[in-house]
Amino acid sequence: MANAQQMANAIRALAMDAVQQANSGHPGAPMGMADMAVALWGRHLKHNPTNPQWMDRDRFVLSNGHASMLLYALLHLTGYDLPLQELKNFRQLHSKTAGHPEHGITPGVETTTGPLGQGLTNAVGFALAEKLLAAEFNREGHAIVDHHTYVFLGDGCLMEGISHEAVGLAGAWKLNKLIALYDDNGISIDGQVAPWFIDNTPQRFAACGWNVIDAVDGHDVEAVAAAIGQAKASVDKPTLIVCKTAIGQGSPNRAGTAKAHGEPLGAEEINLTRAALGWSHEPFAIPESVYADWDAKAAGQAAETEWTLRFAAYEAAYPELAFELSRRMAGDLPRHFAQVAVDTVVAAHTKAETVASRKASQIALEAFTAQLPELLGGSADLTGSNLTNTKSTPALRMQASGAVARTEDGQVGRHINYGVREFGMAAIMNGIALHGGFIPYGGTFLTFSDYSRNAIRMAALMKQRVIHVFTHDSIGLGEDGPTHQSIEHAASLRLIPGLDVWRPADTAETAVAWSVALSNRNKPTALLLSRQNLPYAPKKDLGDISRGAYILSEPKDIGLKKRAQAVIIATGSEVQLALAAQKLLAVRKIAVRVVSMPSTTAFDREDVKYKQLVLPAGLPRIAVEMGVTDFWWKYGCAAVVGIDTYGESAPAGVLFKHFGFTAENVADTVRAVIGAARRKTAR
């Protein structure tokens, strides 16, 4: 190839020019990693700028997402649909060059990065998805799924605790097609990291089962390219390449200092840098010869064409496999999914079992995992509690050779033991979903959603179909006490834009929640499930459950021929309290409607007409949920039976009485609300 130094300097120039024009950004990391980028993108990366979604492309993740101008420069220079004007609009409103890379906004960006450590963890998910799809679909002479995942990362990514979770799992899974290039420049915002970051990173990775290539000169393109070639030869380990670099490389006065990290270099320093680099071109001006050196369109089209021919041969030999792989990579559910969903919900309604909603979830999963091979489950060391495993999802295991282990009947494992790694599990699931081919779901206790919250938020931001199974959803878990009892978590999750939250009351609602979650191809879902058994709530109609809230019981349904005087809104395990309170009130000739609201987020999307049908104006509303009360006032409630303190350690039944979660207290609350309304009317 032509002048590698000029190719790297083009990245440096674009980075410092864009940051300077925006008067905001991080020029140092792109300048320091420019030579690494030339080695990877110029010598090894398999991609097609004219088709960023080509199935068998290599995946590239910029985990240190503040270095976004590195990625934007690469996408522009190699020929993606990212014109120079977008680089000039860096960090500006509605541009395709946001402050940190955003998936779905900029062509070629595989995942949204910025929260450090999560990009590395997403990359583990990418690499795992590739490995599992290859094991499932490739046949002798037909390596249809065969690509690498590359990730650039920095000191900050390694300081974040999630990196430990990701690195450990990548080693355990022997993800040999995962190659991480560590920008070892020793600088973070506060300066030299040595006083607070003394980890022996190579030894740490080696201890976790990684192949480590240490002390590579990150400014020597040939040395980095050779290290990548060596890493690609690994058959049983992921690889870390430690690239020694200087942040802000090329800047006479800022290189190697924290001043290069998060602020423009300034006009004077940029001029000095141009001179030092021998880059005499105006801001944002790239010579045609450099564009020609970087242009990857022809090579990318040739690589994809060659793969397309191989896929055609594969399709001829294995038409069913080819169809299934294409369907799953497109994110389409099987054609018979709608019928499977209906059958699952109707079966739950017909059996009317009294089980915990976590068990109801497993019952639904038995049906769905049997029919959807793309469902890839798991749990953070709580499989027996979360009940995320089924007969169709054998445990995922790896052989000593690095190959995916198979069951006696040749199946690849579909249930992952993530270990006690909630955050890592959530971010890995994001990577799996982004890669395509699987719908990931994973379980832990609801209170531990705090650990994984930022990854849940990222799934919502990226509109990814990821399903979180959260069990032990209230003080109903009993003796484990307040450390494990969720109080604010349901309300907190409902605040995340784009996240569907379901807290079902019985087997039918749980089956509906799962069917909706699987259909939500553009949003993640959180299922909040009980530890304790819940009686089935009789229903006249199943059709409105998916709307998030529905009329479960009217006064006439329990023999009271009066119009409702109030509405009790309940979720999850508290629906049974609402129904019991309705009967207690009926003895006193007080008529109430019971509304089950398994998903406030789904109900909030409904039109006004339906909302008014379920919650009529003029009827006092009383909400019942074992969680903080603040959330419920938005529905115009006159009272909320909730809990605004932490829980206690005691048997569940004792706690329910202690905190007022009894039918009698709910009935008394309704009577007080109706009485207050009458007195107000009388005045």
Burial (CB < 10 A; 0-12, 13-18, 19+), residue 343, is middle
pLDDT for 682 = 79
Residue 116 has pLDDT above 70, yes or no: yes
Q: How confident is the model at residue 680 (pLDDT cuts 50, 70, 90)?
A: confident
Is 357 labelled as part of a ligand binding site? no
Distance CA 345, CA 567 (A): 26
SS3 523: coil
User: Which residues, including other chains, have CB under 8 Å from residue 236's CB and lie 6 or more apart?
Assistant: 174, 176, 400, 401, 402
Structural domains in the chain, CATH included, are 4-302 (3.40.50.970), 330-528 (3.40.50.970), 544-682 (3.40.50.920)
Does the annotation place 26 within a ligand binding site?
yes
SS3 668: helix
Q: At what angle do helices 68-78 and 4-22 cross, to 10 degrees?
A: 120
Three-state DSSP class for residue 669: helix
- Residue bearing tokens 């409630």: 637
The answer to whether 480 is a known ligand-binding residue is yes
Instruction: Check the annotation: does 385 bind a ligand.
Output: yes
Kindly write down the DSSP assignment for every residue of 167-209, as one continuous string.
Answer: HHHHHHTT-TTEEEEEEE--EETTEESTTT----HHHHHHHTT
Q: Place 681 in a pLDDT band, splitting at 50, 70 and 90.
A: confident
Average pLDDT over residues 519-537: 98
Q: Is the pLDDT of residue 333 over 50?
A: yes
Gyration radius of the chain over CA positions: 28
Q: Is 472 annotated as a binding residue?
A: yes
Average pLDDT along the chain: 97
Indicate whether 465 pLDDT > 60: yes
The reply to whether 185 sits in an annotated binding site is yes
Taking only the tens place, the pLDDT of each residue in 139-155 is: 999 999 999 999 999 99
Phi, psi of 567 (to 5 degrees): -125, 130
Q: What is the pLDDT of residues 599-623, one digit of tens each?
A: 999 999 999 999 999 999 999 999 9
Q: 358 a known binding residue?
A: yes
* % of the chain with per-residue pLDDT over 70: 100
Are 40 and 150 a contacting pair, CB within 8 Å? yes
Q: What is the pLDDT of residue 106?
A: 98
* C-alpha span between 559 and 491 (Å, rounded): 35
CA atoms within 13 A on the CB side of 616: 12
User: Using 50, 70 and 90 to split pLDDT, how confident is the model at 347?
Assistant: very high
**Residues 385, 141: contact at Cβ < 8 Å?**
no
Q: Which residues contact 161 (CB under 8 A, 6 or more apart)?
A: 117, 423
Say what the pLDDT of residue 677 is: 84
Structure tokens, 294: 């970087």
Model pLDDT, residue 679: 83
Nearest to 369 by CA among 388, 385, 352: 388
Residue 644 marked as a ligand binder: no
- Name, in order, each residue with C-beta under 8 angstroms of 106's C-beta and a sequence gap of 6 or more: 72, 75, 82, 96, 97, 98
State the Cα–Cα distance between residues 377 and 370, nearest whole angstrom: 12
Catalytic residue, chosen from 136, 422, 574, 625, is 422
Match 């069913």 to its residue by tokens: 320
Task: Reduce the DSSP state of residue 165 to 3 states and report it.
Answer: helix
Give the per-residue pLDDT at 2: 58
Q: How far is CA 41 from CA 143, 203, 235, in A?
A: 23, 28, 22
- Bridge pairing between strands 525-528 and 550-553: unpaired
Looking at the chain, the whole-number percentage of residues with pLDDT higher than 90 is 98
Separation of alpha carbons 131 and 291, rounded Å: 34
DSSP state of 411: P
Strand positions, DSSP E, 339-389 = 355-356, 375-379
* Separation CA 551–CA 538 (nearest Å): 11
Q: Which two tokens stand for residue 619?
A: 């009827």
Torsion angles phi and psi, residue 639, rounded to 5: -160, 155
What is the rounded distance in angstroms from the CA atom of residue 496 to the CA atom of residue 422?
18
Look at residues 185, 236, 192 and name the one whose alpha carbon lies nearest to residue 210: 236
Q: Which of 658, 634, 663, 659 is nearest to 644 (CA)?
A: 659
When pLDDT is cut at 50, 70 and 90, the band that residue 10 belongs to is very high
The answer on pLDDT for 1 being more than 90 is no
Is 606 catalytic? The answer is no
- Which residues share a beta bridge with 442? 468
Identify the CA nearest to 173 among candidates 420, 400, 431, 410.
Answer: 400
Q: Is 422 helix (H, G, I), strand (E, B) or coil?
A: helix
d(CA 534, CA 46): 53
Cα dist. 46→85, 104, 147 in Å? 26, 20, 8
CA distance 11 to 438: 35
114 annotated ligand-binding residue: yes
Q: Which SS3 state, helix, strand or coil, does residue 573 take? A: helix
Nearest to 386 by CA among 191, 530, 269: 530
Instruction: Determine the average pLDDT of the residues in 290-300.
Output: 98
For 36-47, how does the pLDDT look when each residue is reduced to its tens digit (9 = 90+)? 999 999 999 999
Residue 476: both structure tokens together: 């109903």
415 annotated to bind ligand: no
Q: How far is CA 406 from CA 51, 62, 414, 531, in A?
A: 34, 33, 10, 32
pLDDT of residue 89: 98
> Mean per-residue pLDDT for 202-230?
98
Distance CA 596, CA 570 (A): 5
Backbone angles phi, psi at 296, to 5 degrees: -110, 10
Tokens of 612: 């008014």
CA separation for the pair 622, 147 (Å, rounded): 55
450 labeled binding residue = no
Cβ-based neighbour number of residue 463 at 10 Å? 15
475 is in an annotated binding site: no
Coil, strand or helix at 323 = helix
